[in-house]
Amino acid sequence: MTTVLLVLGLLLGLYALLYYNCIRGAKCRAQSSLRGKTVVITGGNTGIGKMTALDLAQRKARVILACRSRARGEAAVYDIRRESGNNEVLFMSLDLASLDSVRAFAETFLRSEPRLDILINNAGIGAGGRKEDGFNLVFQVNHLGHFLLTHLLLERLKLSVPSRVVIVASSAHRSGKIDFENLQKPVEGILQNFQAYCNSKLANILYARELANKLEGTDVTCYAVHPGFVNTELFRYIPIWLWLFFVPISWLFFRDPTDGAQTSIYCATQEGIEMFSGRYFVDCRVQDPRPPARDDAVAKKLWEVSERMVGLTMPYPAPQCVRLMMWVLLVLSTLISLTSSPVSYQTLLIAFSIIVSVKTQ
């Protein structure tokens, strides 16, 4: 019996050393007050997002939890208000799986909130199928929805400078790849969904890189972060049988959400990191991601493709559209020369107006 107790004690001691030295990760030491500042956190009702929201609420920020579930969002608001003593914690409905919901959220926010100091793109899923917009659900929630959300809120961020965008990425980007032909296609199966997750995390880092380039000189900065391996609801959609393996591993060897939130909190609050805008942070330190996540040409193309996918630009590059419309105009001109009809002249005028508007976009 004594031997068994000694062995158990040794194992517990080794586990404690492993957890506090290898698993737990760095802690954000910034003491910045956020009084008077407004923060939006997607997926702030659970896991890393909720712990991030709690910390920022304790710093006296006005915190808006942008979540899909009203019941869970309002429950998180209650918890955070109670623990932080800050009543300026609010719920706003946002479903990143619906681009219409993203637009509706942005419209509601811009109508009700005069400033936005920190946007934390935290929400994410590890598996899914296809939703109403027809895209790969993992890629839409993890990248496209946040891409559109940030675009719609960008002017408010610029009006509240210095302001920040924090994008929760992952070391899973190491296994990601950007295949522009298949980005939006829904997938099925565990391995295919995991690959879609890795692809979306690579997209997160590339997006932060290109966003920083476009925001240069505006005093709006952005950062991609790896929270570590965290025991959250990220893979809640995996098959039941896989939980028998996954749950004990995650419980023993993954960080808890408080530890997982530290790098997000650091990038939201730490002073003096503006020079690292667009960079990737791990354990509250700058780290170089894998080479595919540092490819500026791919980052730029991903931006352009994402704009078209969420409807911010035309489905074809503008010069191609102009050439197409010029051909249409040529055909109309030929018809006019044959008919000399006043209606045809009116049609020509409308077509000319469309071409001019396309050229100026």
Q: What is the C-alpha to C-alpha distance for residues 163 and 37, in angstroms, rounded to an integer?
A: 9
pTM: 0.81
Per DSSP, 291 falls in state G
Cα(205)–Cα(292) distance, integer angstroms: 10
3-state secondary structure of 325: helix
Q: Say if residues 251 and 135 touch (Cβ distance below 8 Å).
A: no
Omega before 291 within 30 of 0, i.e. cis: no
Known catalytic residue: 197?
Answer: yes
For residue 55, the tally of other CB atoms under 10 A from its CB is 23
**Backbone CA torsion sign across 205, 202, 132, 232:** negative
**Residues 191, 238: Cα–Cα separation, whole Å:** 11
- Per DSSP, 311 falls in state T
* DSSP 8-state symbol, 217: T
3-state secondary structure of 210: helix
Tokens representing 77 are: 């608001």
Q: What ranges do the domains of the chain cover?
A: 14-310, 320-358
Cα maximum dimension of the chain? 106
Tokens matching residue 137? 């659900």
Angstrom distance (rounded) from CA 42 to CA 55: 15
Q: Under a CB-based contact definition with an 8 Å cutoff, are residues 139 and 183 in contact?
A: yes
What whole-number distance in Å separates Cα of residue 352 and Cα of residue 82?
61
Let me know: does 54 contact 86? Beta carbons within 8 Å.
Answer: no
Q: Both tokens of residue 245?
A: 């393996």
One-letter amino acid at 320 equals Q
Q: What is the pLDDT of residue 192?
A: 85
Residue 261 and residue 52 in contact, taking contact as beta carbons nearer than 8 Å: yes
The domain 14-310 belongs to what CATH superfamily? NAD(P)-binding Rossmann-like Domain (3.40.50.720)
Identify the residue whose tokens are 């935290």.
122
> Other CB atoms closer than 10 Å to residue 36's CB: what's the count?
10
Q: Which residue has the tokens 């010029």?
A: 326
Q: And the tokens for 95?
A: 């479903």
Q: Could you give the CA distance from residue 148 to residue 140 in angstroms, rounded to a whole number?
A: 10
Using alpha carbons, select from 118, 146, 114 the residue that is nearest to residue 56.
118
- Specify the DSSP class assigned to residue 232: S
- Per-residue pLDDT 10s for the chain (361 aa) are 676 556 565 656 554 454 454 555 688 888 999 999 999 999 999 999 999 999 999 999 999 999 999 999 999 999 999 999 999 999 999 999 999 999 999 999 999 999 999 999 999 887 765 566 678 899 999 999 999 999 999 999 999 999 999 999 998 899 999 999 887 787 777 788 889 999 999 999 999 999 999 999 999 999 999 997 766 665 555 566 665 666 666 656 567 788 899 999 999 999 999 999 999 999 999 999 999 999 999 999 999 999 999 999 865 444 444 455 555 556 556 555 555 555 454 554 555 454 444 433 4
Residue among 19, 78, 197, 207 flagged as catalytic: 197
DSSP string, 163-203: EEEEEE--GGGGG----TTTTT----SHHHHHHHHHHHHHH
Query: Cβ distance 168 to 197 under 8 Å?
Result: no
Residues in CB range of 69: below 8 A, 6 or more apart: 45
